[in-house]
Structure 1
């Protein structure tokens, strides 16, 4: 699968952030730090919060959302998921480019409406699937990743933030986006199970997904665990690839011919000539996935190029999440 790359922005883009709660505040900080962005203003239903973030980031706090949208070229929306569709339509109808926090919308029908409107008006619609910008993932660009078996675990301690949706739409959707990116969209069967424990929605879920070509993925997501884990393990005929999203690194164990420099034997393997070449990647100290995400959006707007994570990709991930959630709800 060809990899999209970030192209250096050709000009400065006037931007805004709508919704500056805990996550939106970080978005505003990244816009303020982006060399190709001019953060004009922020908006929040809580005026005092907007004033605080505006002061911190050196922009204006707007009390009129329509006025803020009119004053910029691109809008970053970080409101609660239930408002994504409403605010997204408002931005796109005003012919402004849109970066929407994940998930793209509350339902696939709402998501498709946003995608169709963006296409109709010729606008950039990028979705904030931040793991695509994780150094552990970006380190694999240029490497042939074509897994036939995937095992993923995303575990977190309980946090009321995000509890308005199920763990599938809050956490597992990150892994679904990455999974579809690497395994494609030809899904043959989905089996999912889940239970609600601390909220009315599903808090822990396991999904078994079978793809065309006898490719399989097992995903587990929990927001009621005692420790954090975000690992994605992939197996293919010539390699084992592990991505640790938490530690922002990847490990690649690639099968190579005997005699390959720096290759190591595998003790106990049936094939005594089997050798593997091990590559480990580590994130640089200041590598910031959210900054990369914002920079990529601004670059796409400035250069009129496709976003790295487009609206249609996010919609397919949401549709899969919806099916997993449906089955998980029925099993609980």
Structure 2
């Protein structure tokens, strides 16, 4: 059984703590650490684990470090863990800058240790339900809207929210990005709170993404359009729907799902609607357990450090496009 330690006990860190305890057959929780020593002691007493007085002491006692600290600290904490010969799970985004991410990639390779990045939506039941569906999107539309929460405003909405969808579309499109256009505006914080981005891939696929943290409602939807199907993912409700069009006399229409006749200019067709079973799942627990499976099986991490780098690189391109677009806008004081 792998020995794990948790660094960072904020809102998300407390959730990770509970998930590690739920994964008791996979991990032995050795202890926890946070810069707030009173909080560390209180949670250690509450959950029957050890309160470490420093990150270094915790790293020296474990095989795996779960890093759930502010993004600004990811680089130093992950670097310290890798130098301490530990595997690492680190929440998204991987780091604050690409230079930091590159250094961690090289360090992880030299250390021979896995780093898995917490792009938790990869483990969303709605997305997992598509495991048997051939996904080749030509157009992707994603909306991630959230009501304002001061937590997370140390970075723009691109790194705070949109990066979840960037990781998803990079995985689904499975190609190089050729062009990025974006616009955004800061409403309640010092960095953009609403951003829209258009991403074009080398194979011609296009993704249109909107992220907002000043919405009146929460929404996390991804829609995929491809030649043979329309796929809808509701990541908030953890539901997926696959709609396909078949010839009226087709013999390969799946038995499961619903069928509806449709008259088209090309003749009668059949619309087939399937809602793949997703089932309940604790996505954070799943991603932590998947890291253990990768370590024990000698396999790459499900969401590798390179995946984290690619999502961060695309986020930086979008942020740069937002800045350049803002610079082209006329000053509100101009006459």
Tell me, in whole angstroms, the C-alpha distance in 1 between the residues paired with 2:238 and 2:311.
22
User: What is the aligned counterpart of 2:93 among 103, 117, 138?
Assistant: 103
Q: Does 1:291 align with 2:285?
A: yes
Tell me, in whole angstroms, the C-alpha distance in 1 between the residues paired with 2:258 and 2:75.
52
Return the offset for 1:19: 0.5
* Equivalent residue, structure 2, for 1:264: 259
Worse overlay, 84-93 or 303-312:
303-312
Q: Does 1:31 align with 2:20?
A: yes
Return the offset for 1:188: 1.2
**CA shift digits 1:35-62 (9 cap, x unpaired):** 1100100000001111222233321110
Structure index of larger Rg: 2
* Equivalent residue, structure 2, for 1:132: 122
Gaps of 5+ in 2: 327-335
Q: Is the 8 A contact 1:85 1:105 kept in 2?
A: yes
* Equivalent residue, structure 2, for 1:253: 243
| CA RMSD across the alignment | 1.4
* TM-score in terms of structure 1 length: 0.93
**Aligned positions of 1:40-189 closer than 5 A:** 40-189=30-179
**CA shift digits 1:243-266 (9 cap, x unpaired):** 101001110012334343566345
Q: Is the 8 A contact 2:200 2:207 kept in 1?
A: yes
Tell me, in whole angstroms, the C-alpha distance in 2 between the residues paired with 1:222 and 1:77.
26
Return the offset for 1:328: 1.2
Kindly tell me: are residues 151 and 266 of structure 1, through their superposed partners in 2, closer, same or farther at Cα, counting changes over 3 Å? Answer: farther
* Equivalent residue, structure 2, for 1:17: 6
Paired residue total: 320
Q: Is the 8 A contact 1:151 1:234 kept in 2?
A: yes
Worse overlay, 296-305 or 313-322:
296-305
Higher RCO structure (Cα 8 Å, ≥6 apart) = 1
Q: Is the 8 A contact 1:263 1:275 kept in 2?
A: no
Q: Is the 8 A contact 2:262 2:269 kept in 1?
A: no
Return the offset for 1:65: 1.4
Tell me, in whole angstroms, the C-alpha distance in 2 between the residues paired with 1:159 and 1:265.
43
Return the offset for 1:268: 4.8
* Equivalent residue, structure 2, for 1:319: 313
**Aligned positions of 1:301-320 closer than 5 A:** 301-320=295-314
Tell me, in whole angstroms, the C-alpha distance in 2 between the residues paired with 1:223 and 1:263.
36
* Equivalent residue, structure 2, for 1:5: none
